[in-house]
Structure 1
Amino acid sequence: MADQWIAGVDLGGTTTKIAFITADGEIEHKWEIPTDNTDEGKNITQNIANALAEKLAQLGETNDRLAGIGMGAPGPMDYERGVILNAVNLGWKDNFPLQESLEAATSLPAAIENDANCAALGEMWKGAGNGAKDLVCVTLGTGVGGGVIANGNIVQGINGAAGEIGHITAVPSGGAPCNCGRKGCLETIASATGIVRLAMAELNKHETSGELSKLLSLNGKITAKEVFDTARNGDPLARNVLDEVSFHLGFVLGSIANTLNPEKIVLGGGVSKAGAILLDAVNESFAKFAFSAVRDSTQLALATLGNDAGVLGAAWLIKNKLNQK
């Protein structure tokens, strides 16, 4: 496998990221294709196979150059059978045989994993995890996802639903409704949509002429990025939102660290691009809730791989699988 590439695929509802990656984790080529979720997603794996074949032809290579293919996909999985239980935004329902379909389309050995878990594996291998074998990755995006790695292996749980950090209850009573049907989940606070919701609640509560209020009256809406930008500039309402987000996130991460004592907790996703202002505030809250031995040994860090985390984690997945044979 030394001279062969691995195909890493990060399947999203709108676009699919694909990369050819060396056994050492260097990205040689990467590109995107649209995700075609028509006809209950029946074209998805064939489109990926076609994209691989076209890129190999452009590079003057054949399928023999590829050792295997790894894929991260949204949704819960039955890993034993290589089946995705359902992924509504892809059109797949009721136990879609993803691994089998991928292997048939590409003529390559395949491995599949939940997309948030793939991002965690990517950060472990080549990113902020820096080789740490005990790692928790939290993706703060439109929602909140998570992946838990213990001793180098993804913790999948009995039903493939381990690592659903976004659905840990952060507000036990009176919390906002979550898309999962419950209330008060961390996702309702620490996601981009949750941050905007908190900011709007603050703006509705107070008469203010601050920077955040001006942005709302100017644009008719605000973004999570604007909340952090104005907090950085000292806007009092934006600071209130930052305090609330970091309190709940630090509380949940402290509880996770007390349970797992990972070497690192990596914060990724679009919200993490706020950088130091978020990390410093979360660290302060984390220190209050983490047990002393945990606080001294578990480090919080910002993800470094951005959009490459998923394809790298998918490549690590199949590399690991092939090495075990």
Structure 2
Amino acid sequence: MEKMLLGVDLGGTTTKLALITTYGEMISKWEIPTDKSENGKFITLNIAKAVDAKLEELNEPKSKVLGIGMGAPGPVNFSNGSIYEAVNLGWKDYPLKDLLEVEISLPAVIENDANMAALGEMWKGAGEGAKDIVCVTLGTGVGGGIIHNGQIVHGTSGAAGEIGHMTVVTDGGVSCNCGKVGCLETVASATGIVRLASEALATGDNSSLLQQRIEAGDPLSSKLLFQCAKSGDPLSKTVVNRVGNYLGLALSHIGNVMNPEKIVIGGGVSHAGEILLEPVRQAFETYAFKRVRKSTKIHLATLGNDAGVIGAAWLIKNRLNP
């Protein structure tokens, strides 16, 4: 009887789930809304119900599922699978692993969601074949996962990989949600990119393509900025180059410290593709140590929204069969 792995990527709005073979092949994937009411007390129950319903739909017994891996937003106590803090869900010192195992009657392993995405890219994505990779996710915020010799780097308090909170703007930076000023997240997340674009529009050429698109009714977004940059709009290209410089600077610091084989850039912002990757690589070449420049390569992620569930499946597989 072929066994299955259950991967879960817990988000603040939706929760992605997938049944995956032990070889990393997708059997079925789906998502459910994340119920944040009453400080998220129904999340584990809803996941258990969704899994039971899917197995019934597929006419598969739960005995075929080896276990459940879950990526959660926030730092994780990897010794017991509890969540130190997940602000968007109202959790603090939350015993997620214990509660999930009670509800679903399967062994569970919990990790930070960015770490899970890094594992997914290592197993089946842009990092395939590498055992030393760093994954940076550019979305509403900026996250990161560090894999060394095939193992997640947690740090003393589970906060390793907080790449989004590296300081890259030392003069005139803006406040970050973390309480610091000038974090990478303030200039390389989707939100930060929109802010930089707004500042450029306020002081730049009103005849720019970006301004014209906004006046025509398109809402300002990082996606629109990249579209205009690809069309050759000078103002948009200037903003994109600024973002790329900040990100390349941060990645050079990571490269100089870790010297990974691959740095993988994922998340919604990464869909911009080469228009973003080109200035990132240029900045990395400028700031990184020579041996790092030659040995560490920067790639775009290839798994998209599946990275988290695939990484979660890999982790439960390897925790059960180390």
Q: Which amino acid aligns with 1:46?
A: L
- Tell me, which stretches of 5 or more residues in structure 1 are unaligned? none
CA distance in 2, matches of 1:6, 1:221: 40
The aligned counterpart of 2:190 is 192
User: Cα deviation per residue 1:245-289 (whole Å; 9 max; x = unaligned)?
Assistant: 111111110111011110100000111000011111111111011
The aligned counterpart of 2:60 is 61
Q: Which amino acid aligns with 2:248?
A: G
The aligned counterpart of 2:82 is 83
The aligned counterpart of 2:215 is 217
Contact between 2:205 and 2:235, CA under 8 Å: does it hold in 1?
no
The aligned counterpart of 1:96 is 94
Asked if 1:287 corresponds to 2:282, the answer is: no
CA distance in 1, matches of 2:88, 2:246: 29
CA deviation after TM superposition for structure 1 residue 144, in Å: 0.6
- Tell me, which stretches of 5 or more residues in structure 2 are unaligned? none
Contact between 1:38 and 1:91, CA under 8 Å: does it hold in 2?
no
Q: 1:273 aligns with which of 258, 271, 274?
A: 271
Asked if 1:40 corresponds to 2:35, the answer is: no
CA distance in 1, matches of 2:54, 2:204: 56
User: Cα deviation per residue 1:106-161 (whole Å; 9 max; x = unaligned)?
Assistant: 11111000011111110010000012100000001111110010000111100000
CA distance in 1, matches of 2:205, 2:291: 44
CA distance in 2, matches of 1:38, 1:173: 40
CA distance in 2, matches of 1:248, 1:40: 36
Bigger Cα displacement from structure 2, 173-182 vs 17-26 = 173-182
User: Cα deviation per residue 1:200-231 (whole Å; 9 max; x = unaligned)?
Assistant: 11111123312011122223741111111111
CA distance in 2, matches of 1:90, 1:193: 20
Bigger Cα displacement from structure 2, 150-159 vs 57-66 = 57-66
CA distance in 1, matches of 2:38, 2:183: 33
CA distance in 1, matches of 2:138, 2:310: 19
CA distance in 2, matches of 1:105, 1:180: 33
Q: 2:131 aligns with which of 133, 152, 157?
A: 133
Task: Give SS of 2:17's match.
Answer: strand
Q: 2:168 aligns with which of 143, 167, 170?
A: 170
1:243-282 correspondence to structure 2 within 5 Å: 243-282=241-280
Q: Which amino acid aligns with 1:320?
A: N
CA distance in 2, matches of 1:80, 1:9: 19
Q: Which amino acid aligns with 1:20?
A: L
Give 4+ residue runs of structure 1 displaced > 3 Å after superposition: none
The aligned counterpart of 1:122 is 120
CA distance in 1, matches of 2:104, 2:119: 23
Contact between 2:19 and 2:27, CA under 8 Å: does it hold in 1?
yes
Task: Give SS of 1:86's match.
Answer: strand
CA deviation after TM superposition for structure 1 residue 47, in Å: 1.0
CA deviation after TM superposition for structure 1 residue 236, in Å: 1.1
CA distance in 2, matches of 1:216, 1:181: 32
CA distance in 2, matches of 1:193, 1:203: 15
Q: Which amino acid aligns with 2:112?
A: N
CA deviation after TM superposition for structure 1 residue 59, in Å: 1.4
Q: Which amino acid aligns with 1:73?
A: A
The aligned counterpart of 1:299 is 297
Bigger Cα displacement from structure 2, 33-42 vs 293-302 = 33-42
The aligned counterpart of 2:154 is 156
User: Cα deviation per residue 1:161-219 (whole Å; 9 max; x = unaligned)?
Assistant: 00000000001121011111111000111111111111111111123312011122223
Contact between 1:9 and 1:311, CA under 8 Å: does it hold in 2?
yes
CA deviation after TM superposition for structure 1 residue 244, in Å: 0.7
TM (norm. structure 2) is 0.98
Q: Which amino acid aligns with 1:319?
A: K
Aligned residue pair count: 322
Contact between 2:241 and 2:276, CA under 8 Å: does it hold in 1?
no
Q: Report sequence identity in percent.
A: 59
